[in-house]
Structure 1
Amino acid sequence: MHPIKVDEIKSVKGIMEIEIPQLEQTSSDETNSVKKMETEIHQVEENSEADSLEGKEITAKRGTKPPLNFLAILKDANITIHASSPDELCNQLYKGVFIEPKLLMYYVEKMLNKNCFIVFARKLHITWIENSSYWKWTKEEDICEEYSEDIEVAELLGVCWLEIKGEIRTIDLSPGTVYEVVFVVKMLHEDRCRKWNYPVTLNLILPHSKKETRYENLAEKPRGKWFEIQVGEFKMTPENVGEISFQLEEFSSDWKCGLVLKCAVIRPKN
């Protein structure tokens, strides 16, 4: 694996719907004001149908074009991209690529051609995770076998104060798209943990501190199988440019155990 080469970027240029300098500008402006980032999003939306002649010749159908800003997203990733063929490139993005090894994955939702992200447990903020009496790290065989990556999951041994948090920049999401955030978890069989008496609280905090809250009863969930817990949803509009955070909490005096945390997924809502 090595950083993206200049000649690889040039060969992909015809696939893009806007010029590469515009994509790099999108990435570099992330540290500027929200107002400036809103302007960039408007520019991307206005130019999304302005295909170059070269791009039209290489990609005869919409489904073989990656999202506009995929190069900006992968700019600092230590990966090799399949630049010689639009189809191979898109298949690579559909499968997913690690922006941060074992921590953060970027992929493209095939049917909608939209940007998505997976934040694995090691990148999430888990209260008491450093205490081996409360949590332990373990590996699951069904996670990312095709990437030859040792992805770890976090198993809850027992806490009263359950708190899991994550965050992601929305500048890399697809404009005008309704997204949902979900945690992927598993409940161990009842002989290994006690019943949960209280529902967990799920918070989605959008830019400008707008907050959505919902509740989920884990006691009613199947045991021994991965399932998703929806945190919330939002539309990728200029007012939501910035950073979102998502949380799973339960602070009662009851001791809780048997929860296994795989990841959080940010994806378009079908």
Structure 2
Amino acid sequence: MEITMLPEVCISHIISLTSPRDACRSSLVSSRFRSAVNSDVVWSKFLPHDYHQVLSNSALASSMNSLSKKQLYFHLYHHPVLVDNGKMSFAIDKESGKKCYMISSRRLPIVCESTATYWLRKSLQAESRFSEVAELTYVSWLSLKGRIETNILSPKTTYAAYFVYKLKESSSAFMERQVELGVYFEGEEKAHGASEREVFLFPSRDQLELCRDREDGWMEVEMGEFFNYGGEEHGVVVFSLMHIHNDTCRLGLIVEGVELRPKAGT
């Protein structure tokens, strides 16, 4: 029997065992396949299993009930949803459907000479997904550190953490000195698995794979990566940025947050 002769629900079930990319390609086979691909049976499999719980913390949760599972999938890819009282955003990876989070600057403890004096909280509604960002106005050293519990991430996945920021014309000091970036599990700062690197926040030819422009108008630098086993092996991942050189004043750095996304192919 040819697969096209199977009941549509069977075709949907088979397609749901593939991937979002393969499902979209399958829709080109015939109108019968296209109808099967568009069914909730397929896209329910591709969405994170706990997406209902994640979206329950969003102000837009009720408005998404009218969307089909396919519409919801692509909405969550194109339009990150604010959760945790607007301090985090949630999205999914287009290729895999795995979970992506961005932690806003409001949840990133920033240490310097005087946080209240040298960091300005401001609104960039036309540019940022969050209600406010943090702008460095004048400081000679700084340390930024955040954390996330791995049990809210997709299991059996390699994640990378990305520092998301902008630089004003007055931020030339970040061109002269590198920042120290680190990603590690809490309690394993000195362990073999700790991921550490030094980079310039200004993109250069040598660091295009780490530091680059984003489609949303911001810049990002890869801080490091880690593997999330999931299950009972959950823990807390810490990501940090340090810039401690007292000989030069720093200003003009605008921080949106830190984004955690699955690495390609995981």
Q: TM-score, normalized by length of structure 2? A: 0.68
- Structure 1 unmatched ranges of 5 or more: 1-16, 18-55, 145-149
Find the partner of 2:223 among 228, 231, 238.
Answer: 231
Distance 1:142 1:113 in 2: 25
1:185 counterpart = 2:170:
no
Find the partner of 2:47 among 33, 45, 66.
Answer: 66
Find the partner of 2:81 among 73, 81, 97.
Answer: 97
Distance 2:198 2:128 in 1: 27
Find the partner of 2:256 among 253, 256, 262.
Answer: 262
Distance 1:152 1:167 in 2: 19
Distance 2:61 2:113 in 1: 33
- Which residue number in structure 2 is paired with residue 46 of structure 1? none
Q: Deviations over 1:127-149 (max 9, x none)?
A: 249645311122222223xxxxx
After the TM superposition, which of the residue ranges 107-116 and 70-79 deviates more from structure 2? 70-79
Opposite residue 118 of structure 2, the aligned amino acid is Y
User: SS in structure 2 opposite 1:113?
Assistant: coil
1:121 counterpart = 2:100:
no
Opposite residue 53 of structure 2, the aligned amino acid is A
Find the partner of 1:244 among 237, 247, 259.
Answer: 237
Q: Could you tell me the percent identity over the aligned residues? A: 26
* Contact 1:207–1:240 under 8 Å retained in 2: no
Opposite residue 240 of structure 2, the aligned amino acid is Q
Measured at CA, do residues 262 and 129 of structure 1 come closer, stay the same or move farther in structure 2, by a change above 3 Å?
A: farther
Measured at CA, do residues 242 and 230 of structure 1 come closer, stay the same or move farther in structure 2, by a change above 3 Å?
A: same
After the TM superposition, which of the residue ranges 225-234 and 174-183 deviates more from structure 2? 225-234
Q: Deviations over 1:219-268 (max 9, x none)?
A: 55699x63111110112114861111111101111322221111110011
Larger Cα-atom Rg: 2
Show the 5 A alignment for 1:1-270.
58-62=39-43, 65-81=46-62, 82-84=64-66, 85-94=68-77, 95-128=79-112, 131-140=115-124, 141-144=126-129, 151-189=131-169, 192-196=170-174, 197-209=176-188, 210=191, 211-219=194-202, 226-238=218-230, 241-254=234-247, 255-270=249-264
Q: TM-score, normalized by length of structure 1? A: 0.67
* Contact 1:65–1:86 under 8 Å retained in 2: no
Distance 1:245 1:131 in 2: 21
Opposite residue 226 of structure 1, the aligned amino acid is W
* Contact 1:202–1:246 under 8 Å retained in 2: yes
Opposite residue 227 of structure 2, the aligned amino acid is K
Kindly tell me the number of residue pairs found equivalent between the two proteins.
Answer: 208
Opposite residue 185 of structure 2, the aligned amino acid is L
User: SS in structure 2 opposite 1:102?
Assistant: coil
